[in-house]
Amino acid sequence: MHELIDLVPKIWRRVIPNCDSILIEIEGNLASDRALGSKILPSQDLIFSALEIDPSSVSVLIVGQDPYPNSEHAIGRAFAVRKSVSKPPPSLRNILKERQRDVQGKAPDLDLQQWHDQGVLLLNRTLTTRSGESNSHKDYGWAKFTGEIIQYLASQEIPALLWGNEAGKFKDFFGERALISAHPSPLSAHRGFFGSRPFSQINNILQKPIKW
């Protein structure tokens, strides 16, 4: 039994070329980590929580990097954390700050469930990491898996918010439906993320605006 394969919603498995073989490779890499005693985040049941949206219901794609390296924050959706967290991580804090400047109104909970429920796919390029080590699984095969999802959504003419250099690599797939800016992390937010008004801009593209 391949546990990762069983966890992916079947409807996503049907739209991802070579899904099973990619996940078998990833599962082998994760098994090696576990054999060395490494704790993997997020927990197994949350790895694919971003994909709890039917592909046909996705309205906007937001691309992140990898899970937060602590269990309090890592919930399987890019940038989101548990809504009970008392202090959001810096990137999420900057996203919500720009959101307030851009569209105002009541902010979403920190788990961004409100966005998820409206079809906003919060997809990290890498879906797991070792506890305490950011980006430690970037070469485990996840880039193939999420790259196929991103390209599929581009083919369905879904608009995308591409923040930072890594996400920006997909701009050609989305064409005019890509909104590109600096990453919201403290290292780069002041170099083009703040003031980019991504939320109102993406709503101008959509037939049904998101309540950000």
Q: Which residues are known to be catalytic? A: 66
Tally of CB atoms within 10 A around 192: 14
| CA 94 to the chain's CA centroid | 16
What is d(CA 27, CA 168) in angstroms, rounded to the nearest whole number?
27
d(CA 135, CA 133): 6
DSSP string for residues in 111-141 = T-HHHHHTTEEEEESS--EETT-TTTTTTSS
Per this entry, what is the length of the chain?
Answer: 212
